Structure 1
Amino acid sequence: MAARLTLITVPTDNDRRAPRFPGRDRLDLTFESLPETVRRCLSEADHLIHAPEIAIGPNATVRVPAEVAEALSNLDYGNWANRTMTEIAGADPAGFEVWRMDMAAAPHGGEAISSARDRVGGWLAGLEERSGAIVALCPATIVRIALTAALEAPLSMIWRLDPMPWSACELTRHGDRWSLRLS
């Protein structure tokens, strides 16, 4: 079955000048507060899925109920959550460097990036029974990880992907292969 998966990057209140490791704080969104392009995408969805920390209020123009996917949860940054990257790099430079270089490392006591890829990859594989337009609202890190999983790219590529807030990355599936659609 053919499917089109649109991953929409939901922004956090993270300041790009002093980026910090996010926690898993709940983000409540209203349909009316979303950019027009996102509202249109949600209105055209056959399946609407979101991370558990993202909640979107009901709206009559959205045809399908929203589903929560635990697999789309943001990375668990353990004791680094809500602390700036500069602070962590200064307090634990060795741990910070290991985390950046070794995708299986979790010096923060939370989840390793490779573990997150396993869960997101499992979620992507589980979409094979669905067809049509699938829209998923995700944190930026999960969008990066999903792209590497779908395209079977090295996980270290997450450092070279930079989804902007409210951007949409579109993947298409034919059979068991995902492709990145650029428009």
Structure 2
Amino acid sequence: MKLFCIASSAPADMRRGFIPARNSLSELEAGSAAWLQTVEPQCLMIIGPDVSLMGQPCFEQNIQVVPALSDRDHGEWHGRNLRDLSPTALRDWLNDPQFSPPSGESAGAVFDRIGGWLGSLANDASHRVIIARPAVIRMLLIHGLGGGVEMVGRLDVPPSSRSDMSYHMGWRVSRIGVPLG
């Protein structure tokens, strides 16, 4: 099995220093959309629920939205400016995998959710394209490398990039963060 992991763009809120609004959607940039046009039509395309394919050329692939591939739920912090968080809360949010914003999800819980989905994939010869936010792709890759949630801050996956994983008696990562545009 081979997974082609495409990182969407970062939400506009995030680029301005805000935690993305709860229902914000990330989009594909031109380079990612162009690469997707080269994918074989029988390849299953799996997308996170916070990624939009609207405005892109119609893809002939089978598309499946997978809730487990959504980015972190920041609870009451959605839409807040990072400067409005206390230094202690910001430090805990960035460094403590078990810290949860009020009514939100910890990085550890997201990591486990994404790893659970990866572990549920049937080992077959098919190829799949995964389109999700960069943080989700980063966590998939860390699972593929056999790492833990403590590695989340040590691996960069830029927006509009491709990373590849394959499975044969265990996951292997063959490409990380190759620009697509």
> What TM-score do you get using the length of structure 1 for normalisation?
0.81
Give me the whole-angstrom Cα distance separating, in 2, the residues matched to 1:181 and 1:144.
14
| More displaced stretch, 114-123 vs 92-101 | 92-101
The residue aligned with 1:20 is 18
- 2:97–2:150 contact (8 Å) kept in structure 1: yes
1:30 and 1:8, CA in 2 relative to 1: closer, same or farther beyond 3 A? closer
Query: d(CA) in 2 for partners of 1:30 and 1:153?
Result: 28
RMSD (CA atoms): 2.7
Task: Quote the offset at 1:169 in angstroms.
Answer: 0.8
Question: In the TM superposition, what is the alpha-carbon distance from 1:10 to its structure 2 partner?
Answer: 0.9
Is residue 130 of structure 2 the alignment partner of residue 136 of structure 1? yes
Which residues in structure 2 correspond to 1:135-174 (within 5 Å)? 135-174=129-168
Q: Supply the distance in 1 between the matched residues of 2:140 and 2:17 (Cα, whole angstroms).
A: 21
2:4 partner amino acid: T
What TM-score comes out, normalization by structure 2 length? 0.81
1:113 paired to 2:93: no
The structure 1 residue matched to 2:69, chosen from 54, 69, 72, is 72
The answer to whether 1:81 aligns with 2:74 is no
Kindly state the Cα deviation for residue 66 of structure 1 after the two structures are TM-superposed: 0.2
Q: Give the partner amino acid of 1:7.
A: C
Identity of matched residues, %: 24
Instruction: From 41, 47, 64, give the equivalent of 1:50.
Output: 47
Using the TM superposition, give the Cα deviation of residue 73 of structure 1 relative to its aligned residue in structure 2, in angstroms.
Answer: 1.0
CA distance in 1, matches of 2:37, 2:158: 17
Unpaired runs of at least 5, structure 1: none
Determine the structure 2 residue equivalent to 1:122.
116
Which one-letter code corresponds to 1:181 in the other structure? S
Q: What is the aligned length?
A: 174
